[in-house]
Amino acid sequence: EYVRLTVRPGAPVGVTFAVSSTDGDGTWQVETDGTIWEQAVGQGRVRIVPEVPVAEGSSLVLAGLAVDAYGNRTTPGGDDDPYPRSTVASTVATDRAVWSDTGSNTVSFTEAGSRTLTVSEGGVSTSFTVDVASDRSTVDPVSGGTTVTSEPPSRNVATVGDEGGSRAVPSDVVPAARTAAGHDAPGSLAYTGADASGPVAWALGLLATGGGLLLHRLRRRRV
């Protein structure tokens, strides 16, 4: 024998969602109050951060769910339709958000600077801050080193190239220029080829993983 208990959700209090960069530089989880958790593969939540850092010209992928105070989703849906359509608004007019058939929004950034993104779904919304940095790099013809500057100063990911290809190097960028040595730097290889499907599919895979964890949490109903 078994008892099936269905809990009716309460009033929605906000939107929670996973965020992933299309260049594979990171994933985050945003709570209904706007708290941003940085995530790491195999580790889950690592720390709370004030904003999501992203490079100018790149994009973020996200999908939101309206939930009640206990984390129960408040809009209808099932395994075949895990994410209802959500909308994204930005305080920067040139930012663009496009909804895809995969059940997520892709937000593109063409201007550097800080902005606020507001994700709405199910009659409620949650806002968080995104810091878009513009990188410039110059190569010293004598030492072969690459000097990377960022405007505005921020925590960012610089892409450093050499004869063997290019590598993405996370760094805390300050107003003074920082030099990255010409030899191989630590970090993972960045996607730099013409085929954009690789990093996009990888980013969506991470988003799906985060979304799966989120949906698993939401299915744990509370009475």
What is the predicted pLDDT for the residue at 144? 52
Statement: residue 14 has pLDDT above 80: yes
Which of the four pLDDT bands, split at 50, 70 and 90, describes residue 6?
confident
Residue pLDDT, tens place only, 176-204: 334 344 433 333 333 333 333 333 333 44
What is the predicted pLDDT for the residue at 20? 92
Domain ranges of the chain: 14-133+196-218, 134-180
Q: How far apart are CA 147 and CA 40, in angstroms?
A: 28
Statement: residue 18 has pLDDT above 80: yes
Residue pLDDT, tens place only, 114-154: 999 999 999 999 999 999 987 544 445 455 555 444 555 44
Statement: residue 206 has pLDDT above 80: no
Statement: residue 97 has pLDDT above 90: yes
Q: How confident is the model over 214-218, as a mean pLDDT?
A: 47
The β-bridge relationship of strands 87-90 and 113-121 is antiparallel
Q: Cα torsion at 143, 144, 147, 148 (round to 10°)?
A: -160
Statement: residue 51 has pLDDT above 90: yes
CATH number for the region 14-133+196-218 comes to 2.60.40
pTM metric for this prediction: 0.61
Statement: residue 48 has pLDDT above 50: yes
Which of the four pLDDT bands, split at 50, 70 and 90, describes residue 221?
very low
Residue pLDDT, tens place only, 75-85: 887 666 667 88
- For the ranges 24-28, 49-53, 114-118, the lowest mean pLDDT is seen at 24-28
